Amino acid sequence: MTFINQTPVRRNSHLIPAGFALAVSGLLCVLHLQLFGASWPLLWLPVTVIALWPSRVGPVLSALLLVVAGLWVDFVTLGAPGQWPLVFLVIYSVIRPDRRPAPNSVISGLSRVAVALIIAVLVHSLSGRVVYGVWPDVTSVGRGVLVAMLLTPLVILGRAVATRSFSGGDI
């Protein structure tokens, strides 16, 4: 049965595991894996967390948390202040987790992460070109995106475990 003028219940308690995951990924984004004689950055890991954002949380608190997390990533990566909050908010406004009709699955999570990474690379590259006057290193960005995609199943698993422990699995 459909109810007119009814909105879904918003539970801001779902922001606790999401905020924790964003904080951990914000700390990990400074690291680089040294494999095969190359550096594999974890810089794009927060994008995977944002792409898998909980669906029934308030958009205002989510946006506020994303701005704070973006400023944190700017701080720890020594980037231009405001560049990562811009990236995070654009991803959030395109992905729109509050409009997600179906529950999470691995395939839908991977597709959302892929779209979010494409958007993040475009926005970050364009804003970096404006701020710094140069384009980013394509190979470094590509390796970072590949690492983020490969770590996405672990982020999905961690999100499922955190959701069950914090909110009883209702997401």
Tell me how far apart the alpha carbons of residues 7 and 21 are, in angstroms, rounded to a whole number: 27
CA–CA distances in Å: residue 153 to residues 69, 111, 157: 22, 12, 6
pLDDT of res. 1: 47
pLDDT of res. 89: 94
Q: Give per-residue pLDDT as tens, 23-33.
A: 888 888 887 77
The architecture (CATH level 2) of 12-165 comes to Orthogonal Bundle (1.10)
Point out which residues pair with 32 in neighbouring strands. Answer: 41
Point out which residues pair with 34 in neighbouring strands. Answer: 39
Domain boundaries, the chain: 12-165
Q: Give per-residue pLDDT as tens, 43-84.
A: 889 999 998 888 777 788 888 999 999 999 889 888 888 889
CA–CA distances in Å: residue 98 to residues 47, 57, 59, 62, 91: 17, 7, 8, 11, 13
Mean per-residue pLDDT of the chain: 81
Q: Helices (DSSP H) in 29-137: which residue ranges?
A: 45-51, 59-76, 83-95, 106-132
pLDDT of res. 10: 56
Tell me how far apart the alpha carbons of residues 119 and 148 are, in angstroms, rounded to a whole number: 14
Q: Give per-residue pLDDT as tens, 117-136.
A: 999 999 999 998 998 889 98
Tokens standing for residue 84: 């990562």
Tell me how far apart the alpha carbons of residues 91 and 120 are, in angstroms, rounded to a whole number: 7
Across 156-168, b (16+ Cβ under 10 Å) vs e yields bebbbebbeebbe
Q: Which residue type does 97 have? A: P
Q: Which of 98 and 140 is assigned the larger pLDDT? A: 140
